[in-house]
Amino acid sequence: MSEPNTPSRHPGPAGPRTLSVRSTTLLGFVLIAEAALCLAVLISIWAPLSDLTSPQAPKAVVWWPLGLGPVRLTANTALLVVVVATSGLGSFVHAATSFATYAGKHSLVRSWVPWYLLRSGIGAALAVLVYFLLRGGLFAGGTEGNATNPYGFAGVAGLCGLFSKQATDKLREVFDTILATHDEPDPKDHRGGELPPAAPVVTVVPVVPTIPTVPAPPTP
């Protein structure tokens, strides 16, 4: 008699583990809190920024960020804060759209949690870099912040947070074009060491012996 089939003691690899309802709710609250913080900072700083970018703007104003304390604010500093805050809102739109899609399908896995938590930081860092490039390339070195348009920088920063992947690819294309080189490659391998000289190529030509021809005897 044949033995009954027994279940295997070594099951196959487990699939991706989805988040529980509690973890999904907590992640959603974290995303909403980030967006609320960015929006509150943006609303709080916009009035001082409007004063600093007016035709007869003062050199600095006092700003109370969310009622935490007085901060001496200049036009350049206010623009930088606006760039960070609007990039956070753009990152929230991207992350919240993805979160709502996967959470609604009950397919939000744990391995993607760092992606959602780092979206705001990635968007803010990218927006600050683009802001510095625009300020350095489009304006003179001594131009103050009151000579700029805060709406334009805020819109660009928000798009950097929303489309960080596309913005990074575009920056890579720009730098590849600017820093392109056509020099001969150095004789170095990928570890930084010198490559050994190539061995000389020896060509062997076969020698075919020649057979002397004997003249035919004369005919009578």
80-100 tens-digit pLDDT? 999 999 999 999 999 999 999
- pLDDT mean across residues, the chain: 78
Residue 166 confidence (pLDDT): 85
Residue 191 confidence (pLDDT): 47
Whether this model's pTM surpasses 0.85: no
Q: Report which of 79, 17, 141 is spatially closest to residue 63, judged by C-alpha positions.
A: 79
Question: What are the boundaries of each domain within the chain?
Answer: 21-178
Signed CA dihedral, 158, 161, 162, 166: sign only: positive
194-195-197 Cα angle (round to 5): 120
Residues 104-129 have a mean pLDDT of 91
Is 70 exceeded by the pLDDT of residue 106?
A: yes
